[in-house]
Chain A
Amino acid sequence: MYRSEDTEPKKHRIRHWSYWKTGYILIAPVLFVLIIVNLYPSLYQIFISFMSYKLGSPISSFNGIANYQKLLTDVRFWNSLVITLKLLLYTLPVQLVLGIILAMLLDASRYHKYFLPLLVLPVVTTPVVVGYIFQYMFREDYGLISYFLRLLHLFPGYNLTANTGTVLPAIAMVDTWQWTPFVMIVLLAGLQSLPSSVYEAARVDGGSWWDIFLKITLPLLKSQILVVLLFRTVDVLRIFDTIFALTRGGPGTGSESLTIYLQLTGFRFRNLGYAGAMGMFLLVIASLFTTAFMKLAKSEGIEEEK
């Protein structure tokens, strides 16, 4: 959370009019860019969402709230919302737990700086490429994942993305592979900033390892955990690239997330007005989540910004 500091300079000599003006001059270019790439598109988006607008023809007519009404009754839309929420449910806890474990392992190791550069590679790999690499690895007959699952007798050995029951866990798995390192490095940064004196005091008091973890480590990591949750939530809400490359929303509508359905509606079914309404809905969800996390951070008295 940004808390504006007292930026007033103490020296009276430099507090003249041009000094005040400077701040506005400095932020003007960014404001200009923001208006072009955010304010105007957002307003336009709201406008479109009230229109009946088919891609390829001129904006035809005011549609009232028909697009929003359609959202309420569109089964496929609700299905895609459920899928998006399910993905959140499958990914967040797993990534958090795995991330904490890995961060603690790294923190305990003296040689963590040799592992870190390698471990963060998944985070920066282009998501579309990740999708295709995993599409290859999920293949039933020559894919590596199916091969391992078969070796472990864990699964009948079919392509996990080919079944409506397993496609979401499979996508969650890809997401976990890509983003657990992110959770890990953030939490590691938190762990390393903790003063070691706290631990020593706790150890002297005779607390068990688990006690120390629950009562000291976790509370101290709270701000980092919140940051991670916030970023992961908004990123899962906008997951698109991976699913697009992996299954394109199939089988059936089994992995059709909100974003995939939005793209389909706008640019396949050419219903831009309806896609606009869907985009507004997505915006609202994303901002709800963001505000909720921010509120939480505030109530915990955490200052994200150091």
Chain B
Amino acid sequence: MFEKKMILMFVVFLLLTCFSCSAFAADKVKVNVAVTVGPNAAAAQAIKPIFEVKNPDIEVNITEIPWTDIYQIQLLDFMSKKGNFDLVMQSTSFFGEYVLDGFLEPLEEYFNDVSLIDKTAFNLDDFNPNVLKAVGSYEGKLYALPYMYFPQIMVYRSDLLKTIGWKVPATFDEYSNIVKKFSEIKGIYGTSIIGIKGGAGGNVYAWGPYLFGFGGYYIDQQGKPAFNSPEAVKALEYYAGLYKYSPSEAINMGTDQVTSAFGAGNVGIILMDADNAMSLLDPKYTEFSDKTSFDLVPKSPGSEAGSPLLGAWSWAISKFSNNKKAAFKVLTAFMGNDPEIVDAYVKNGIHPRLSVLNKYSSTYPNYALVAKELPNTKTVPVIPNWPQIRNPGGSHFQSHPGQDEPTRRFK
């Protein structure tokens, strides 16, 4: 009889555990979207209420994930085949991998479905063709739509520039001189490099404009990594040289942290992704918003203009999604023509469509710069083994500047 009691207790405990997995009923279609924390999420959060009013049958559920973890979290979700995320976000650096492994849904048939989209209103030509190729399509098939661009622009403190009485740097030589000069001001780091390992948001991407400025590229014509080419070495040395004038923790900082270090008023001049830079104009984000100015990235000695790295985040429908059609509606609406949505979007980031970019050039300084920069931009190589090249590369030069000790601000 006590055996019975024991079994009963065991069952009760098991039941207790089972109750904990709560089931929730939903009458609306719920579309779960993954976005990276930062401008991407800010734009999505701003558009969500507008979209839900216009599409009362769809509920958008936004999950914000740090860029450092989004690859792994989405990958684990794909593996589970549960389709917890209907829309997944990828940067140029792992888009190819997702496609090759069959995690993404081809978009073509959805675009052909007239019940889902007004083709005249949503024009794919309005996206920069290079970006559409780099983060949207693989071998001619469309899998994703660019969600946000992030080519680098130069961000500097105009009040400090006025103090030292110099003009805005146009070449990398002038840039490093200004950095040196700024670091002599008490309480200011000349610049901050981005040292953390990684693609979008990390050192491999942030190094791009320096690398291109010195005439190098990530891979050579045979598709082999070219981190040892003379141009790349020069660019790396230049980049490592800047670490001396950066906060020492810059070695572990990504674009997010560098943006907020600038926002805290500690940093003089940086090259920063245009989408992140936008928050520096927000008086709620930083008290230095009216002292922050933008300009084009410095140009290399021989060339006409600087060339930033055109990184972009794109959105795609997960192969395992249970609400693919609703997801497609969300996808196209968020980057669509609706003036209200566009208006909410442009306050938070760099819109992926050319017409919008041009239209808001007069309103937002970084829009004007991105529009001007676009012809000169380069993207990262779209090759399947890019992640395998990227990570060791990232480690390699995270440790490279780590050996130089930064000159200290407090002596």
Contacts and interface: CB of A to CB of B under 8 A. Distances in A.
Per the CB under 8 Å rule, do A and B touch in the complex?
Answer: yes
Interface of A: 25, 29, 55-57, 138-141, 150, 156-159, 161-164, 247-254, 267-270
B399 A164 contact: yes
Interface residues of B, number: 36
A29 B249 CA distance: 50
Given A29-B10, A162-B402, A252-B398, A138 B197 contact: no
B232 interface: no
Q: Which 9 A-B pairs have the closest CB atoms?
A: A252-B399, A158-B248, A251-B402, A162-B248, A159-B249, A159-B248, A251-B251, A252-B398, A162-B251
Interface of B: 3, 10, 68, 71-72, 75-76, 78-79, 101, 103, 195-197, 247-252, 266, 387-388, 391, 395-396, 398-400, 402-403, 405-406, 408-410
Contacts of B251: 162-163, 250-251
A140 B247 contact: yes
B71 A269 contact: no
B252 A158 contact: no
B402 to A, nearest CB: 4
B247 A268 contact: no
Contacts of B195: 250-251
Nearest to A268: B72
Contacts of A164: 399, 402-403
A77 to B, nearest CB: 13
7 contacts: A56-B79, A140-B247, A141-B247, A159-B249, A161-B252, A250-B252, A251-B398
Contacts of A29: 10
A29 B405 CA distance: 58
Contacts of B247: 140-141, 159
Contact of A267 (B68, B76, B406): B76
Contact of B402 (A141, A249, A254, A268): A254
Contact of B248 (A56, A140, A268): A140
A150 B101 CA distance: 52
B101 A252 contact: no
Given A158-B408, A163-B405, A248-B68, A270 B75 contact: yes
Contacts of A157: 408, 410
B324 to A, nearest CB: 20
A294 B405 CA distance: 45
B240 to A, nearest CB: 12
B279 to A, nearest CB: 20
Contact of A56 (B3, B101, B398): B101
Contact of B410 (A139, A150, A253): A150
Contacts of A25: 3
A268 B391 contact: yes
Contact of A158 (B3, B78, B400, B405): B405
Nearest to A247: B252
B310 to A, nearest CB: 24
A267 B408 contact: no
A305 B27 CA distance: 58
B410 A250 contact: no
Contacts of B3: 25
Contact of A156 (B71, B72, B396, B408): B408
A163 B395 contact: no
Given A251-B251, A252-B398, A253-B399, A55 B75 contact: yes
A154 to B, nearest CB: 14
B183 to A, nearest CB: 13
